Structure formats: C-alpha cells, structure tokens
Amino acid sequence: MTMISSPVKRVAHFVLGDGRYSELADFYSQMCTKRDPRYRASIKMMRTLKDKHKGERCFIIGNGPSIKNTDLTLLKGERTFGLNRIYLLFEQIGFSTTYFVSVNRLVVEQCAREIEKLPCPKFISWDTRDLINYTDDMAFLHSRWHGPKFYTDITRGIWEGATVTYVAMQVAYYLGFAKVILIGVDHSFAAQGKPHTVVVSQGDDTDHFHSQYFGKGFRWQLPDLETSELAYRIAKHRFEVAGREIVDATVGGKLQVFPKVDYLTLFK
C-alpha cells in the first residue's frame, strides 16, 4: 500500500494515480534533497573525484569467507574499495582501503560510529543520513528505485542491485578505473530464506570473513542473489561497451558472470 505523508503528495496521488504519483513524489524528494548542504557538498566531492583514476586498476574487496584464504597484504599500494564491515580487517592487514562504500540502512544504523572514523573517503547512502554524522570525506549517494540501471554518473544517483558490490562498481566506473578485480565475492550463503527478510543473528557469522561481521544480535537482511546476478550482468555489459573490464579473482567463488583470473598472477 502506498504511504502518503504530505498534503502535496496526497493531492498528487489523488489526481495522478499510483504511477504518475511515484514520479512526482520522486521529483518532490529530489527538490528537498538538493537544498540540503550535506548533499550539495557530496556532489562537489564526487565531481572532484571524477576520472581521478582513469586507466588504472582497482580491487573491490567483498566480505565472503574466501577472504580468509586470500593474501590481502599483496594489496598494499593498490587502489581498493572496502564494503560494509571490511574495517574489521584493517588492523590485521596493516592498512585501510582506498575507498569505502556502504548503502545498507541496517549496517549504517548499527555501525555508524565506526564508519565515521574510517581514514578514507566514504560513499554512503543518502537514505541513511539520519543515522550517521556527516564528515568532510563522506559523499552521500542517492539510491534510485526506477528499475535496473547502471549509473555511469553517480552524482545523478545509483541503483543498489541488492548488493553493495554493485554500488562500488558504479563508483569505480565514475572514478575512471579501467579494470575492476573482484575478490571475496563468494556469491553463496549458508543462511536461507526469503530475500531481503530482516533477521537477527543467533551466533557466530559463517557467511562472512569474520565471526562477528554479523555476529550474535546483529540485524541484517537475507541476500537476494538473483537480483545481484542481474546487476552484475548489467555492470559487465556497461564496462565492456566502454572498453573496460571486470574480472573475478575470488578464491573458490560461485559467481559465474565475470571472467575468472588467478589472484596471485595479478602481482607478477
């Protein structure tokens, strides 16, 4: 059922119906958003980063258990994207990722204080702005819900694709990276159930690289691998038509969308 909150939205819904109302409501939301100084600062920050890494390669580090079998020390000096609770590894490997991305509301809600302190530029969902303190090295991304799309200009928004990894791909494209290498994207979960269902962890986490990643008491959403795979195929196509590439160096990963490469050969 559509929730109507303001007089303007109620009138729009009555006059236009659900479909046109959705478009007008999105426009109304954008107008309010653009007036917020945090959003304007985010756009400015993103524009300073556009094509900063043109022609370079980067690693998007997923959070699957396979990370425990991946020598991350080889990534020191490489351009890297960390996702969600990747910072649990920083002390162990001795460095932080170059960039950080998190768009899931439950993650930001429960980890905001830790995320705020990360010593790298952070890309966070605008929808979580009420949960986290804005910092000078933080850019808010506006999630769009008009259907599957790969946004090559992240100042206009992003589609989440049911996985933060897909968001990182859009950011990497905007920053100019020519080659994206995936690691830790296992694309398999022991936890089963209806996608997006919110559950509370009852013990140690076996679906990620750290037992306390979504440890006991942590609220999280069950994965939607089907939508994620659709998103990955869109990203693959978008990179290829631009003469760029995404490859998968995940150790033992189940994802079959991208060309597979041996992780260790990337450093010879």
For 182-209, what is each residue's pLDDT tens digit?
Answer: 999 999 998 999 999 999 999 999 999 9
For 208-259, what is each residue's pLDDT tens digit?
Answer: 999 999 999 999 999 999 999 999 999 999 999 999 999 999 999 999 999 9
Q: How many Å apart are CA 76 and CA 236, to the nearest integer?
A: 26
Tell me what pLDDT residue 13 has. Answer: 46
Residue 14, pLDDT > 50, answer no
Q: What percent of the chain has pLDDT over 90?
A: 83
Q: Is the pTM above the cut of 0.85?
A: yes
Tell me what pLDDT residue 8 has. Answer: 47
Rounded to an integer, the average pLDDT of 114-119 is 97
Tell me what pLDDT residue 254 has. Answer: 95
Rounded to an integer, the average pLDDT of 13-39 is 60
Q: For the chain, give the number of residues.
A: 268
Rounded to an integer, the average pLDDT of 157-165 is 97
Residue 64, pLDDT > 60, answer yes
Tell me what pLDDT residue 146 has. Answer: 79
Q: How many Å apart are CA 58 and CA 49, to the nearest integer?
A: 15
Q: How high does pLDDT run on average in the chain?
A: 90
Rounded to an integer, the average pLDDT of 99-112 is 98
Residue 24, pLDDT > 90, answer no
Q: How many Å apart are CA 216 and CA 202, to the nearest integer?
A: 5
Q: How many Å apart are CA 143 and CA 122, to the nearest integer?
A: 15
Residue 4, pLDDT > 50, answer no
Q: Determine the residue type at 165.
A: T
Q: What percent of the chain has pLDDT over 70?
A: 88
